[in-house]
Amino acid sequence: MKVAGLRCISCGSVYDPAELDYTCPRCGPRRGTLEVLYDYDKIKRAFTWEALKRSQNYSMWRYLPILPVEDERYIQPLKVGWTPLYRFDHLAREYGVKELYIKDDGVNPTASYKDRASAIVVIKAQEKGKKVVACASTGNAASSLAGFAANTGLTTIIFVPKSAPEAKLAQLLIYGAKVLAVEGSYDQAYDLCLEAAERYGWYNRSAAINPYLVEGKKTGALEVAEQLDWEVPDLVLVPVGDGSVISGVYKGFHDLLELGFIEAVPRIIGVQAEGAAPIKRAFERYTGAEVAIEDQEAKTLADSIAVGKPRDIVKAVKYIHAARGFFISVSDREILEAIGELAKRTGVFAEPAAAAAYAGFRLLAEQGRLSKSDRVVAMITGSGLKDIAAARRVVGRPYPIGPSMKDVERVLKELEGK
Ligand SMILES: Cc1ncc(COP(=O)(O)O)c(C=O)c1O
Ligand SMILES: [Zn+2]
């Protein structure tokens, strides 16, 4: 067994991974999310800088020694991870930092960061002999689960809010998932999926309650560290809804620190939407004792982070505290502007939630909270093609012309004046 134990984030109880699938029975599904423990000394013996340097595996599976996979036969061939980390010096100069990097996870098989977690979960489902996997999702987690389950024989049952963007719904259906489009919010879909999975014995991939998700999500951090030659950045910006992706990013750096690969965990900054910022509020009230949870109704066009009842709030608050990080919030207007600027200035097209990370970077610069020596990474967690309706709101329209050179000349004249 690679996994040495599962530890409750709230009470610290440690469980045998064979003993339970989800959360600490003492603390319940919300406070009792579990951390995956490893025997780092044992892993250190084979998992070294040199071994990684020799590895020809350019996917998240290059980190297999620190992933909770017991049976490698279940690894899907889809290439997930080892996504590009682009350096953009023109923007670094403009915003007054030393280096700015964009980690583009829109290039994953189903076009979001969530593939890193789904790739693990379909393996765990098969190791556990499950036949059905279920998931409630704002869209990306579900479509990635459907994609990664497509080749496994697992049946996939999905609960999404009916309002999920068209592209995400289309992805679910094309991968063959059974889709329940809930007339209600993501938070309601989540509770419904929890109840149904329990009743019917489905393996639940919904955020936070499944401890193995964060392990997949940590691989983005492992890559950032390796791509920067183990010189970790000063700041890493991560968009936050349920708080699982950011918890994964912390866990990745934490594991590297334990293994002696890096000297410190970078400051991790969570970016929430103004209309859905319950983790930011809880963080600001956190004193080191119990995390105070106050839910809200979520209101933002960034559907992937439209979460009012965040399920990984305890981990996210504790981890970001440990990382000397903090949370900020950005408006929908700032998110839309960020989509446009990022695409026009770098060629990276982000969906609204993903662009929130870049909006957060711009906001910190505007508030004078960045320094000239900062090396900054923004995690772009999903492709803009997932939600073109949002992108359309910040662009002009094409010029309609007839099939004649006269029309071309007319438009070119018009454009000259612009
Ligand atoms: C593109 C994108 N960015 C960020 C997030 C936020 O992740 P989490 O809900 O784990 O905080 C999500 C979650 O759906 C997402 O799809
Ligand atoms: Zn507990």
Count other C-beta atoms under 10 Å from residue 363's C-beta. 19
pLDDT at 46: 87
Q: What are 231-288's pLDDT values in tens digits?
A: 999 999 999 999 999 999 999 999 999 999 999 999 999 999 999 999 999 999 999 9
Q: Which ligand is nearest to the CA of 111?
A: 1
The mean predicted confidence, pLDDT, of the chain is 97
233 touches 224 (CB < 8 A): yes
Give residue 1's pLDDT: 81
Per-residue pLDDT, 260:
97
d(CA 138, CA 302): 10
Task: Tell whether ligand 1 has an atom less than 6 A from the beta carbon of residue 315.
Answer: no
- Name the stretches of the chain with pLDDT < 50: none
Under 8 Å CB-to-CB from 246, ≥6 apart: which residues?
238, 240, 268, 270, 316, 319, 320
- Could you read off the pLDDT of 307-327 as tens digits, one per residue? 999 999 999 999 999 999 999
- The whole-number pLDDT of residue 376 equals 99
| Helical spans, DSSP H, in 323-387 | 332-346, 352-366
Q: For a ligand 1 pocket test, name from 140, 158, 215, 217 the mutation site with the most ligand atoms within 8 angstroms of its C-beta.
A: 140
| Distances 131 to 114, 182, 196, 322 between C-alpha atoms, Å | 21, 23, 15, 38
Q: In what order do the strands lie in the sheet with 132-136?
A: 178-182, 155-161, 132-136, 203-204
Strands 155-161 and 178-182: parallel
Residue 414 burial (CB count, 10 A): 10
> Best substitution site from 113, 135, 190 to test ligand 1's pocket, by max atoms within 8 Å of Cβ?
113
Residues with CB under 5 A from ligand 2 (ion): 8, 10-11, 13, 24, 26-27, 32
Spacing, Cα 57 to ligand 1 middle (Å): 26
Expressed in angstroms and rounded, the spacing between residue 305 Cα and the centre of ligand 1 is 6
Q: Please give the class, per CATH, of domain 85-111+213-392.
A: alpha beta
Helix %, strand %, coil % of the chain (to 5): 45, 15, 40
Question: What length is written for the chain?
Answer: 418
Domain boundaries, the chain: 85-111+213-392
